[in-house]
Structure 1
């Protein structure tokens, strides 16, 4: 295990925006439980599609998209606040 210093652009939380040494742009550090929740949310979409339950799949996909949009907004807000251009 290596110990490094990282730049923290938001509060720690479950989805901190940080820049690791040697990286040009910050990234989002997700806690393991948050990553697991995202994975399960996507699995719900896939399972509903497999069953042909398109209304349920659409609802689950909309919730997942809302959560990812909030995460992306947090990331973009942190970049803007610190004068960093988006990498995309």
Structure 2
């Protein structure tokens, strides 16, 4: 394990925005339990597609998209507040 100092742009919540040494752009630190939830949500989409249940797949995908959009919006807001260009 290596210890490094990182720049923390937000509180230490489930989707903290941090910049590691040597990186131009900050990233999003997603806690393990939140990552597992995203993975489970995506698995629901895949399972619904395999069953041919497109309505359920669409609903599950919509929830997953909303969650990722919230993380991305927070990331973009933080970058703007610190006058950092987006990497995309």
TM-score, length of structure 1 as denominator length: 0.99
Partner SS, residue 2 of structure 2: coil
Matches within 5 A, 1:1-88: 1-88=1-88
Partner SS, residue 18 of structure 2: strand
Deviations 1:22-72 (A, max 9, x none): 000000000000000000000000000000000000000000000000000
Alignment partners' CA distance in 1, 2:14 and 2:40: 17
Report how many residues are paired: 88
Q: Report the CA distance between 1:9 and its aligned residue.
A: 0.6
Gaps of 5+ in 2: none
Pairwise CA RMSD of aligned residues? 0.3
TM-score, length of structure 2 as denominator length: 0.99
Alignment partners' CA distance in 1, 2:15 and 2:41: 17
Alignment partners' CA distance in 2, 1:8 and 1:77: 14
